[in-house]
Amino acid sequence: MKRLYSLLAILAIIFVANCTRIPENNNPIIGVWNDNSISLADKSSETTHHEWIFNDAYLGRFQSYNENKISFKTDFKWSVKDDVYTISYPGTDLPSHTVSMKGSTEGDMLALQDGIPLAIREEQL
C-alpha cells in the first residue's frame, strides 16, 4: 500500500510540474532600450539617460540617470496587441506609454503613437 501511495505522489508531482510551465516568449521587444538627451540650462549641460529593460514575463525595469547616477527606478508592466505595445508604471505618477516598433538605419526604435521616438535598442555584445 505504501508503494501505491508513493507512486501516486510521484505521478502527482510530475503532473503538476508539467502543468506549470510558462510558455516561451520571444517577442522582439525583449531586451534593453534607451534614450539619451542633453538639457542646456544656465550655460551648463546635464546629461539625462532613460533605460527600459523588457523581460519575457511581460515585466521590466525602468531607470532614469542624471550625470551617470540613478535618479529614479521602478518596475513596469508591458503588453502587446496588434504590434502596439503598452507600457505602464503601476504605483508611480509616470504616464503610460503606447508605442510601436520601427526599424531605422540606426537600429530598432520604439516610437510613440505620434511618431516621436521614445527609445532605441541597445546594441548587444
Q: Work out whether strand 117-121 and strand 107-112 pair parallel, antiparallel, or are unpaired.
A: antiparallel
Supply the pTM of this predicted model.
Answer: 0.75
Per-residue pLDDT of the chain (125 residues; tens, 9 = 90+): 778 888 888 877 877 776 656 678 889 999 999 996 555 555 556 788 999 999 999 999 999 999 889 999 999 999 999 999 999 999 999 999 999 998 866 678 999 999 899 999 987 65
Domains of the chain with bracketed CATH: 31-121 (2.40.128)
CA distances (Å), origin 96, targets 18, 48, 59, 79: 35, 20, 14, 11
Summary mean pLDDT of the chain: 85
- Closest by CA to 33, choosing from 56, 9, 49, is 49
CA 74 to chain centre: 11
